[in-house]
């Protein structure tokens, strides 16, 4: 569903992503872990088609993200870190806007809008502007726009960053339920996220892949069994 081969991105000689190769199979929920500055968001943006790799390749459902970008994006739902940014729009107008971008029409359009509004429980805030929403509801709106076209693959960049414990629990529960139908990559620096929703985890440090295992497998790499200690051990 997702594949990278020697994916590399440099900025003025600084390697943000360094020769990264991995794949994600159907039904997997992959935790993409690393400290701030490790190259997580850069990798997500390359896979989503927002920035072009310096070298190497990436594909979504067999479509190259550079040479077959529209086909790749049609199979992908993407929640950037901190999204959505259209604060002056109401929730309804924003979702209508995304439906237009995704070229949803007629009965199918209405069905998908009704589904995401109901699935993400957005009816109570549907007329509010996005800037007036709580962080938890903003994440719900972000997830709604990511799944509105029923993509096969979801890429979620720091989906619970900045949320309070209850909001984190709510968003993780939603992700866990959505994961039954999708292949998902969650970029995060929050280690507890891995235990909560992921079936597999990759750890990157300084742009390089340093570990790839199940959450349980990663825990065996440190005597304490704690993911925090595993991260310190493999990323040192």
- Beta bridge partners of residue 55, listed in sequence order: 8
The answer as to whether 81 is a domain residue is: no
Q: What domain range is 33 assigned to?
A: 2-75+152-235
In the block, which residue shows the tokens 């709510």? Answer: 170
> For the whole prediction, is pTM greater than 0.85?
yes
Distance between CA atoms of residues 228 and 234, nearest Å = 10
Q: What is the rounded end-to-end Cα distance, in angstroms, of the chain?
A: 30
Question: Based on the domain organization, do 115 and 184 belong to the same domain?
Answer: no
Position 80 in a domain: no
DSSP category for residue 39: S
pLDDT per residue rounded down to tens, the chain (236 residues) = 999 999 999 998 889 999 999 999 988 999 998 878 889 989 999 999 999 999 999 999 999 999 999 999 999 999 988 777 789 999 999 999 999 999 999 999 999 999 999 988 999 999 999 999 998 899 889 999 999 999 999 999 888 877 888 888 888 888 888 888 889 999 887 777 888 889 999 999 889 999 998 888 887 877 776 767 777 777 66
């Amino acid at each position: 569903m997702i594949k990278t081969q020697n994916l590399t991105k440099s900025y003025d000689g600084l390697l943000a992503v360094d020769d990264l190769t991995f794949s994600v199979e159907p039904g997997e929920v992959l935790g993409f872990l690393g400290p701030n500055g490790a190259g997580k968001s850069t990798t997500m943006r390359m896979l989503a088609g927002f920035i072009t790799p310096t070298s190497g390749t990436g594909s979504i459902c067999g479509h190259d993200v550079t040479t077959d970008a529209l086909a790749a994006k049609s199979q992908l739902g993407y929640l950037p870190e901190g999204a959505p940014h259209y604060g002056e729009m109401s929730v309804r107008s924003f979702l209508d806007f995304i439906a237009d971008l995704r070229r949803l029409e007629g009965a199918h359009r209405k069905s998908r809008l009704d589904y995401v509004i109901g699935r993400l429980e957005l009816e109570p805030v549907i007329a509010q502007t996005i800037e007036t929403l709580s962080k938890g509801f903003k994440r719900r709106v972000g997830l709604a726009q990511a799944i509105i076209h029923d993509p096969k693959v979801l890429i979620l960049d720091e989906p619970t960053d900045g949320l309070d414990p209850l909001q984190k629990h709510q968003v993780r529960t939603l992700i866990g339920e959505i994961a039954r139908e999708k292949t998902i990559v969650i970029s995060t620096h929050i280690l507890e996220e891995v235990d909560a929703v992921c079936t597999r985890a990759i750890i990157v440090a300084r742009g390089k892949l340093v570990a790839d295992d199940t959450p349980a497998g990663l825990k065996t790499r440190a005597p304490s069994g704690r993911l925090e200690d595993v991260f310190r051990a493999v990323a040192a």
